[in-house]
Structure formats: structure tokens, C-alpha cells
Amino acid sequence: GQSRSEPSNKKFPENFRFGVATAAYQVEGGWADDGKGENIWDHYTHHQPDHIANNATGDVACDSYHKYMEDVEMLKNLGVNYYRFSLSWSRILPTGYTNQINEAGVTYYKNLISALKENGIEPFVTLYHWDLPQPLQEIGGWPNPLLEDNFAEYARTAFTLFGDDVKNWMTFNEPQQTCLFGYGLGATAPGASASGIGEYKCAYTIVKAHAKAYHIYDEEFRPTQNGRVSIVVDASWAEPGSDSDEDKEAAERLLQFSYGFYAHPIYHPDGNFPQVMIDRIADRSEKEGFPTSRLPELSTEEIEYIRGTFDFLCLNSYTTNMVKWTNDYAIGAPGYYADLSVSTYQDPSWNNSASGWLKVVPWGMRKLLNWVDQTYNHPEIVITENGFSDDGRLDDLTRINYYAEYLTSILEAVLEDGVNVTGYTAWSLMDNFQWNFGYLEKFGIYQVDFEDPDRTRTIKSSGEYYKSVIANKCLVDTCEE
Ligand code: GBH
């Protein structure tokens, strides 16, 4: 490891908000309880168990479906301003379609939301955190453009049922993970390997589905409910491997392919997919013998319909990658990484976490925030996830350092660079099901005992630290007044 920097002794602005996050499949359990339908993560963990560390599943997870009142007690103890959680689409609509509403699922979320409100905690609700109802996968999942309408109807159902109490909505969490990993690389549910085609068709559906949900809110719900709607896009900062123009271009290209692909159509004043993607994919598709680009084209009407469909910008970020320019990959089988053609690495001196991809690089957060601020015209930004994994120990000092250093970097972006960050969300409230990594990587500021049928929760040192940060709006014992 390398030396650690001192946390800032400046205060967060008075209106800055702090929260914690979870997601339905990662914490709820109760996978088939009370009429819930099957989703693609139920299906994937049950049918392809060897894709998950120790064949783990989210069947029980943290059992929050039964223990949500304990979760609310923990949130209250931390003093968070808001709780970001997601709705399980199949718990509300077991078939994925609106032909059937599962009242028990609706009651579960109504109870959770009213317990939060009674304790002064704002619900921040994600509609889709990766758990597509299996019947919609059977018709192709997100690469099928017809899912735009299925998502829109689900969104309308959620706004109708919960919108009197929920004022902050996020449509999708990290569409890059859904599209690239789920339909390109075949690495996560549903495990489809169609790189160079699947992730592009998936993104085309998702940006349109997001926009449709936004317009539905705008026209049918905003006048009475008066809330805010956005989409969560994730990014790792891309640092050029040298000062050369080639490496700078390669780093920018990686940001456009990974973040801009989902963000540009919505957040950029010009709309549409990033030009560098349109140009490169069209060129390579032609050389490969395709009659049209593998990247679906957005019509002028679609571009107009999608752009500007946000009330604030939601950003997840955990780490940084270094980027070097390389020669374009040879023309052959289509693929996302060939379309992108850059090489990435992480500096061996960066501190590790329990996750191979997650190195501790706090300065990358400040650079990323400045890049987002400049690229998308100075939006209001809420950081909807940031956090660190370890082995689950209670005395988690490296996690405290991670939070102190990342929050320092964010504070510098706000106070020194004028970036409009108004909220910060720690991932996660508690240890949970970490997708392909099962229960091996722990992100919680509360520990969960997964051996115990009761799934006992215990606060970690980082939970106590975060609690003091929230209470004092300050990262150290005493801040400058
Ligand atoms: C977040 O994504 C998710 O939103 C959240 O649900 C999850 O619990 C959290 O990460 C922690 O994992 O397998 O080496 O190819 C963060 C961005 C990018 C992290 C893809 C995992 C897979 C890397 N994710 N990455 S690898």
C-alpha cells in the first residue's frame, strides 16, 4: 500500500444529504414467498449455480423481506437522510406483465415506505436493479425493443401505487452492467453471449424505456406527486496512461463507450449516442460485411424524446482504470472490446479491496465529477453508490479510510471546483449477495451473519464512523467552522 492522505476538515454544505443503498435481489430473500414471480437472477442462480461463488443464491439473502423493520431501525440509528432501495418487479407483477398484481408484494413495499417516512427517512426508489421477470427474458429480454412498453407499464404501476410517498425515482441501475455483462459478455444473468450486438440492442431498448417512464411521470404524475425522476449510470474514472494525445484520446473514448453510451442520450444537451461510438461501430460493421451498423440508430424523433429526461444526475462510482491507446483490433468476430480497442490496467501501487476490480483511488472521484460536470452542462449530481469490500470484519478500518478519502475528494470537487454534488450514498447498508461473488465480498457498514437463520445484523466501525459524518457533516473530529 501507499501513504494515506489526511481527510478534509471542511464541512459539507448545510443542504448536503447522506444515504445508504441496497438492491432487492441482494437483500430481500423471500424469493418465492407470497406469490412473487421468478426473475432472471432466481433463474440464473438456480440453473447455472457454477457461475456464482460457492453456488450461492439470493433465496434468503439478508431476509429483508421479513426483517425490514430491523433495517429501518439501523437506518434510524445511522441518521441517514434517505434510503436507496429497489423494487422487485416480479414481487409486484409476478408475470412481468400488468395482468396480475401481487397484493402481498405491494403491501411489503407500502409497509417499508411508511416505516421509513414515520422515521423521517426519505425513500429513494430504483425501479430496476437487474432483476428482470423471467417471462420477459423468455421473449428475449432487453435486446427486444418491445420491452420498452413492458417497463413503461411497470413504471406506471409503481408511480400509481407508491408515488404519493416516493419523491425520488431512479428508473434503471447501471444499464451498462445489464447490457454489457448480461447480453454481451454472458457474465451475469441472463448469461447471453452476443457481444458487439446484444449490449447495443439492450442499450437501445433501455434508454427508450427510461425516457418513456420519464414522460409518463411528467404527464400523468408530476402535477399531483411533484417528485423527481432520473437514471443511475455507473462510471470508473479513466486516467490516460501518459500525457500523449493518443492516451488521452483512448481514455476519453473509454469514458464514452462505458458511461457516455447510456448518459449521452439522456444527459447531454445534443442527445443521441456518443459520436465516437456511432462512427467506430459503423466503420467496423461495414468492414465485417454487415449491411448496417450493429449499433441501432436513434431517429431524430427518438433523440428528441430521450434527451433531457432527468431531473438530477445519478452517478455510481467505485474505482479508476488507467488507459493506453492501442492499434485497432483486427476485423473479425464482432465484439464490444474490439469496437472500443483500448488497453486498460490498474496501478499495482493502488490499495486493494476484496474485489479484484476495486482499487482505492480517491483522486479519480474528483476527476470523474469534474468530467461529468463539464461534459453534461453542470447538472445537479447525486452519488447513488460508492463503497469498499473486505472480508466482513467488524473493525473495518480500511473501509473507514476509503470513505474518509473518497468523501474528501468529493468535498474538494464541491468546495474547490464548484461541482454541484448534493448527495452521497454509501454502498451498502449491510453485507449482501454480491452477484457472481456470492457472499465472499462484503460491502456493508453493518455485518450480517449469513450462518445464522436470523441473519443477525451488527454495526461495524465504519457504520459508527458514517453515523458521525452524517451527524456533524464533517469527516474528522472537529471541522473548521
Ligand atoms: C455496483 O456496481 C452494483 O450496482 C451493486 O449492486 C453491487 O453490489 C456493487 O457494485 C458492488 O459490487 O467481475 O471483474 O468483470 C458497480 C460496478 C462494475 C462492479 C462491474 C463489478 C464487475 C467487474 N460494477 N464489476 S468483473
* 267-303 pLDDT tens trace: 999 999 999 999 999 999 999 999 999 999 999 999 9
The reported pLDDT for the residue numbered 159 is 99
Average confidence (pLDDT) over 46-65:
98
* 65, 112 contact by CB (below 8 A): no
Q: How far is the CA of 181 from the centre of ligand 1 (A)?
A: 10
With a cut of 90, say whether residue 449 has pLDDT above it. yes
Q: Whose CA is nearest to atom 14 of ligand 1?
A: 357
**pLDDT above 80: residue 342:** yes
Q: Find out whether the peptide bond into 236 is cis, omega within 30 degrees of 0.
A: no
Instruction: State the Cα–Cα distance between residues 403 and 444, nearest whole angstrom.
Output: 12
Q: Output the CA 164–ligand 1 centroid distance in Å.
A: 32
Indicate if ligand 1 lies below 6 Å from the C-beta of 173: yes
Instruction: For residues 140 and 124, give the distance between their C-alpha atoms in angstroms, rounded to a whole number.
Output: 29
Are 429 and 21 contacting, i.e. CB atoms less than 8 angstroms apart?
yes
Which amino acid residue places its CA nearest to atom 26 of ligand 1? Answer: 357
Listed residue (365, 397, 336, 346) closest to 180, CA to CA: 336
Query: What separation in Å is there between the alpha carbon of 81 and the centre of ligand 1?
Result: 25
Task: State pLDDT tens for residues 17-28.
Answer: 999 999 999 999
**For all residues of the chain together, what is the average pLDDT?**
98
Give the pTM.
Answer: 0.98
Q: 73: burial class by Cβ within 10 Å (0-12, 13-18, 19+)? A: middle
The predicted-structure confidence for 408-431, as pLDDT tens digits, reads as follows: 999 999 999 999 999 999 999 999
| CA separation for the pair 48, 242 (Å, rounded) | 42
Distance between Cα 219 and ligand 1 center (Å): 34
Q: Does 357 sit in the ligand 1 pocket, CB within 6 Å?
A: yes
- Report the C-alpha gap between 399 and 388 in whole angstroms: 6
User: Per the residue annotation, which of 239, 302, 385, 441 is the catalytic one?
Assistant: 385
Percent of the chain with pLDDT over 90: 98
Backbone phi, psi, residue 334, to 5°: -65, 150
Residue 333 pLDDT exceeds 70: yes
Quick check: CB of 178 below 6 Å from ligand 1? no
Residue 335 has what DSSP assignment? -
Cβ within 8 Å of residue 425, ≥6 positions away: 18, 19, 20, 21, 82, 84, 124, 382, 383, 384, 385, 386
Mean pLDDT of 146-162: 99
Q: Is 385 a catalytic residue?
A: yes
Determine the pLDDT at residue 17. 98
Q: What is the pLDDT of residues 28-39, one digit of tens each?
A: 999 999 999 999
- pLDDT in the model for residue 481: 83
Cβ atoms of residues 429 and 74 within 8 Å = yes
Cα–Cα distance, 425 to 20 (Å, whole number): 5
pLDDT of residue 196: 98
Which protein residue's CA is at the shortest distance from atom 20 of ligand 1? Answer: 177
Q: What is the CA radius of gyration of the chain?
A: 21
pLDDT beyond 50 at 96: yes
**Which one of the listed residues 70, 174, 412, 441 is annotated catalytic?**
174
Q: Is 234 in the pocket of ligand 1 (CB under 6 A)?
A: yes
How far is the CA of 77 from the CAs of 85, 454, 463, in angstroms? Answer: 17, 20, 10
**With 50 as the cut, is the pLDDT of residue 347 above it?**
yes
How far apart, in Å, are the Cα atoms of 82 and each of 26, 76, 328?
19, 10, 45
Predicted pLDDT at 5: 76
**To which residue does cell 458514517 refer?**
466
Which residue CA neighbors atom 3 of ligand 1 most closely?
174
pLDDT at 315: 99
- pLDDT value for 137: 98
Ligand 1 pocket, 130 CB below 6 A?
no
Residue nearest to atom 11 of ligand 1 (CA): 434
Q: What percentage of the chain carries pLDDT values higher than 70?
A: 99
pLDDT above 70 (res 2): no
The verdict on whether 239 is a catalytic residue reads no
| Residue identifier of the C-alpha nearest atom 18 of ligand 1 | 177
pLDDT at 1 exceeding the cut of 50: no
C-alpha cell at 261: 453510451
> For residue range 235-267, what is the model confidence (pLDDT) as tens digits?
999 999 999 999 999 999 999 999 999 999 999
Expressed in angstroms and rounded, the spacing between residue 340 Cα and the centre of ligand 1 is 20
321 CA from centroid of ligand 1 (Å): 14
